[in-house]
Amino acid sequence: MNITIVGTGYVGLVTGTALAEMGNSVFCVDIDEKKVEGMKNGVVPIYEPGLEEMFLRNIQANRLHFTTNLKEALEKSEVIFLALPTPPGEDGSADLSYVLKVANDIGDLLTDYKVIVNKSTVPVGTADLVRETIAAKTEVAFDVVSNPEFLREGFAVEDCMNPSRVIIGTSSDKAKGIMAKLYQPFTNIGVPIINMDERSSELTKYAANSFLAVKITFMNEIANFCEKVGADVDLVRLGMGSDDRIGHRFLFPGIGYGGSCFPKDVKALLNSGRHEGYEFQLLDATESVNKNQKVILVPEMEQYFGGSLQGKKIAVWGLAFKANTDDIREASSLDNISLLLEKGAEVVAYDNIAEANVRKIFGDKITYAKDMYAALDHADALLIATEWPEFKNPNFTLMAEKMNNKAIFDGRNMFPLELAEQHHFYYKSIGRKLVK
Ligand SMILES: NC(=O)c1ccc[n+]([C@@H]2O[C@H](COP(=O)([O-])OP(=O)(O)OC[C@H]3O[C@@H](n4cnc5c(N)ncnc54)[C@H](O)[C@@H]3O)[C@@H](O)[C@H]2O)c1
The predicted-structure confidence for 139-182, as pLDDT tens digits, reads as follows 999 999 999 999 999 999 999 999 999 999 999 999 999 999 99
322 among the known binding-site residues?
Answer: yes
Mean residue pLDDT of the chain comes to 97
Residue 50 burial (10 A CB sphere; 0-12, 13-18, 19+):
middle
| Residue 112: per-residue pLDDT | 97
Does any ligand 1 atom lie closer than 6 A to the CB of residue 123? no
Q: How confident is the model at residue 37 (pLDDT cuts 50, 70, 90)?
A: very high
Does any ligand 1 atom lie closer than 6 A to the CB of residue 102? yes
Task: Kindly state the average pLDDT of the residues 328-347.
Answer: 98
Atom of ligand 1 nearest to the CA of 121: 41
| Residue 207: per-residue pLDDT | 98
- Domain ranges in the chain with CATH number 3.40.50.720: 2-196, 295-428
Atom of ligand 1 nearest to the CA of 152: 3
**What sign results for the dihedral spanned by CA atoms 211, 216, 217, 219?**
positive
Task: Kindly state the average pLDDT of the residues 2-22.
Answer: 98
Atom of ligand 1 nearest to the CA of 8: 39
| Residue 138: per-residue pLDDT | 97
Q: First vs last Cα of the chain: how many Å apart?
A: 62
Instruction: Look up residue 199 and give its amino acid.
Output: R
Give the residue among 173, 197, 195, 149 at the shortest CA–CA distance from 16. Answer: 149
Atom of ligand 1 nearest to the CA of 261: 43
Does any ligand 1 atom lie closer than 6 A to the CB of residue 163? no
| Residue 385: per-residue pLDDT | 98
For 188-197, write each residue's pLDDT tens digit: 999 999 999 9
Does any ligand 1 atom lie closer than 6 A to the CB of residue 86? yes
Q: How confident is the model at residue 30 (pLDDT cuts 50, 70, 90)?
A: very high
For 204-258, write each residue's pLDDT tens digit: 999 999 999 999 999 999 999 999 999 999 999 999 999 999 999 999 999 999 9
Does any ligand 1 atom lie closer than 6 A to the CB of residue 153? yes
Helix, strand, coil share (%) of the chain residues, nearest 5 = 45, 15, 40
What's the gap in Å between 119 CA and the centre of ligand 1?
Answer: 9
pTM for the structure as a whole: 0.95
Which residues lie across from 163 on neighbouring strands? none
253 among the known binding-site residues?
Answer: yes
126 among the known binding-site residues?
Answer: no
| Cα–Cα–Cα angle for 290, 149, 264, rounded to 5 degrees | 30
329 among the known binding-site residues?
Answer: yes
What's the gap in Å between 270 CA and the centre of ligand 1?
Answer: 21
For 46-69, write each residue's pLDDT tens digit: 999 999 999 999 999 999 999 999
What's the gap in Å between 6 CA and the centre of ligand 1?
Answer: 9
What's the gap in Å between 342 CA and the centre of ligand 1?
Answer: 32
Does any ligand 1 atom lie closer than 6 A to the CB of residue 29? yes
254 among the known binding-site residues?
Answer: yes
406 among the known binding-site residues?
Answer: no
Does any ligand 1 atom lie closer than 6 A to the CB of residue 98? yes
What's the gap in Å between 365 CA and the centre of ligand 1?
Answer: 29
Atom of ligand 1 nearest to the CA of 32: 37
Which residues lie across from 118 on neighbouring strands? 82, 146
Q: How far apart are CA 7 and CA 67, in angstroms?
A: 11
Percentage with pLDDT > 70 across the chain: 100
Give the residue among 100, 109, 99 at the shortest CA–CA distance from 133. Answer: 100
349: left (phi over 0), alpha (psi -120 to 50) or beta: beta
Give the residue among 417, 364, 361, 372 at the shortest CA–CA distance from 395. Answer: 372
Q: How confident is the model at residue 292 (pLDDT cuts 50, 70, 90)?
A: very high
Q: How far apart are CA 289 and CA 428, in angstroms?
A: 20
Does any ligand 1 atom lie closer than 6 A to the CB of residue 88? no
205 among the known binding-site residues?
Answer: yes
Tally helices (H) and strands (E) across the chain. 17, 14
Superfamily of domain 2-196: NAD(P)-binding Rossmann-like Domain (3.40.50.720)
Does any ligand 1 atom lie closer than 6 A to the CB of residue 105? no
Q: How confident is the model at residue 88 (pLDDT cuts 50, 70, 90)?
A: very high
Q: How confident is the model at residue 349 (pLDDT cuts 50, 70, 90)?
A: very high
Q: How far apart are CA 267 and CA 262, in angstroms?
A: 8
Q: How far apart are CA 153 and CA 103, in angstroms?
A: 26
What's the gap in Å between 7 CA and the centre of ligand 1?
Answer: 6
Catalytic residues: 261
Q: For a pocket test of ligand 1, which of 4, 5, 30 has the largest count of ligand atoms closer than 8 A to its C-beta?
A: 30
Domain covering 205-292 in this structure, CATH number:
1.10.1040.10
Q: How confident is the model at residue 277 (pLDDT cuts 50, 70, 90)?
A: very high
Superfamily of domain 295-428: NAD(P)-binding Rossmann-like Domain (3.40.50.720)
Does any ligand 1 atom lie closer than 6 A to the CB of residue 12? yes
- Domain ranges in the chain with CATH number 1.10.1040.10: 205-292
Q: How far apart are CA 267 and CA 150, in angstroms?
A: 18
Which residues lie across from 116 on neighbouring strands? 80, 144
Atom of ligand 1 nearest to the CA of 264: 43
**What sign results for the dihedral spanned by CA atoms 360, 364, 366, 372?**
positive
What's the gap in Å between 330 CA and the centre of ligand 1?
Answer: 15
Task: Kindly state the average pLDDT of the residues 3-10.
Answer: 97
Q: What is the dihedral of CA 362, 364, 318, 413, to 10 degrees?
A: -80
